[in-house]
A and B are shown apart, each in its own frame.
Chain A
Amino acid sequence: QMQLQESGPGLVKPSQTLSLTCSVSGGSMSSGNYYWSWIRQPAGKELEWIGRIQLSGTTNYNPSLKSRVTISVDRSNNQFSLNLRSVTAADTALYYCARSPGHGYLDCWGQGTLVTVSS
């Protein structure tokens, strides 16, 4: 059974770039026609979809974040990454990575990693 695990710095300074990696284990990212997504959730608030990537490199981003987000994939290491530029306190959240086997539903999630933006 595939498992996802987020990793990265828990503290990022304002105006800097937030960088997270999602490592996929228990199977190859290439084993199916999957989309690989990032989602975030500020404390006590709702889920917000950030964006996704296919192994082909095709990406889709939330329009509200598109100007600051880049999602990339590293097939050789079975992982994908999130870069969010010019962060502010509003980007403080629990960040999840997840897998989509089809049009939109997210069937496998990581446990989440907390990122705090603060000086």
Chain B
Amino acid sequence: QSALTQPASVSGSPGQSITISCTGTSSDVGGYNYVSWYQQHPGKAPKLIIYEVTNRPSGVSNRFSGSKSGNTASLTISGLQAEDEADYYCNSHTSSTTLVFGGGTKLTVL
């Protein structure tokens, strides 16, 4: 299975909004509403921030939102804050009953 495609890096200024894309195929992202997103700060374990495309776990800021169109899922972070600087990974269930991650996106808050 091939990794989902994410941009290597994105950046934004405090207060702005950014969007990270995650492109797969009809066998993963496009075929199921089982896309999740994770935030990983340096030296820390990943943290779930979005599940099943649009849902936020309890305690996750509503500045994080998810969506999907066709084979591409997106994570939007609004009102950027310095603490949002981290690596972000998407993940999807696949038709082979496996999971696949994206290559990760480094978010820089300018």
Contact = CB atoms under 8 A, between A and B. Distances in A.
Nearest to A112: B45
A105 B91 contact: yes
B45 A111 contact: yes
A32 B14 CA distance: 40
Contacts of B51: 102, 105, 107
Nearest to B94: A104
Interface of A: 37, 39, 46-49, 51-52, 60-64, 96, 102-107, 109-112
Given A46-B101, A49-B100, 13 more contacts: A46-B103, A47-B91, A48-B101, A49-B101, A51-B98, A63-B98, A64-B1, A102-B34, A103-B34, A103-B52, A104-B91, A104-B92, A104-B99
Contacts of B47: 109
* Most chain A beta-carbon neighbours within 10 Å: one of B3, B36, B45, B98: B45
A62 B105 CA distance: 22
Nearest to B4: A46
Q: Is the interface of A mostly helix, strand, loop or mixed?
A: loop
B70 interface: no
Contacts of B102: 46
15 contacts: A46-B89, A46-B102, A47-B101, A49-B91, A49-B98, A62-B1, A103-B32, A103-B52, A104-B34, A105-B34, A105-B51, A106-B36, A106-B91, A110-B45, A111-B45
Contacts of B100: 49
Contacts of B64: none
A19 B36 CA distance: 28
A111 B40 CA distance: 12
